[in-house]
Amino acid sequence: MSTSRREFLMVGTKLLVMTAATRSALAHVLAGTPEQVDTYTAAEHWWAMVIDIEKCIGGGNCVKACKDENDVLNEPMYFRTWVERYHVNSADAEHPVVDSPNGAYDGFPEAYAEGEGKTFFVPKMCNHCVDSPCTQVCPVGATFVTVDGVVLVDKEYCIGCRYCVQACPYGCRYIDPRTHTADKCTLCYHRITKGLLPACVEVCPTGARQLADLKNPRDPVHEFLRTHPIQVLKPQMATGAKIFYNGLDGAVR
């Protein structure tokens, strides 16, 4: 009898603890949903991201996580983020060999012997430009820069003219064949406004991707930007891109 009561107590306590823990986890994940009180003030944030090329190992976990999180069509032509592998033979820096097999959804296959030329990985995504050319050309106001610096698409308003896709110098936009509207990386806006990290940042095994809030004086991004050589993609386009790369090679397109 005592054993079964002990068992009961053990199982019961475990259940209680688990329920309490689940509730706490639930609360953690749900914090900030429309049902709860919304404490997010957009004007207090200015979102950006830092990508450290020296840390990226081309695992492609970010690509998979993004597609899982954002319900992106899993076909080889639609990516909110992807990773490119650059291989530069020392003699020919102007002609890198670049590949991105299915956007690196499954990582990269073997291709280059160790020590042969220079190989590195470049994760790419929407640069959430301050002077966003895609926003400039939208004829109806279906894509826009939010107060906190994230470029979003209004799927109820987009007419699917594809002008924004043409105007993006980075190739980060596409038309979702299911909704016939423009689609792209949202910096996981639904997550960052609830204190969570974007999915790609969450799963990166080496910490190559870091979310940054430039308006937060205590954000480590400020120190990082001050102590590393930082580049944005296609700076000559003057888009005000906010994805800052550390260690970006000149061969990167």
Measured between alpha carbons, how far is residue 148 from residues 50, 106, 134, 157 in Å? 17, 33, 17, 21
Residue 52, beta-bridge partner list: 246
Q: Which is nearer to other proteins, 5 or 24 (CB)?
A: 24
**CA 145 – CA 121 distance, rounded (Å):** 28
Question: Between β-strands 243-246 and 47-52, what pairing exists: parallel, antiparallel or unpaired?
Answer: parallel
**Stretches 2-10, 27-35, 212-220, 224-232: which one binds other proteins (CB under 8 A)?**
27-35
Instruction: State yes or no: residue 240 binds other proteins (CB under 8 A).
Output: no
Candidate residues 48, 72, 129, 152; the one interacting with other proteins per rule CB under 8 A: 152
Structure tokens at 206: 């080496």
Instruction: State yes or no: residue 89 binds other proteins (CB under 8 A).
Output: no
**Stretches 1-9, 141-149, 217-225: which one binds other proteins (CB under 8 A)?**
141-149
Instruction: State yes or no: residue 47 binds other proteins (CB under 8 A).
Output: no
Candidate residues 93, 106, 216, 220; the one interacting with other proteins per rule CB under 8 A: 106
Q: Which is nearer to other proteins, 173 or 219 (CB)?
A: 173
Instruction: State yes or no: residue 220 binds other proteins (CB under 8 A).
Output: no
Instruction: State yes or no: residue 52 binds other proteins (CB under 8 A).
Output: no
Other Cβ atoms less than 10 A from the Cβ of 69: the count is 18
Q: What letter would DSSP give residue 198?
A: P
Candidate residues 9, 10, 16, 30; the one interacting with other proteins per rule CB under 8 A: 30
Assess contact for 239 and 133: CB atoms under 8 A: yes
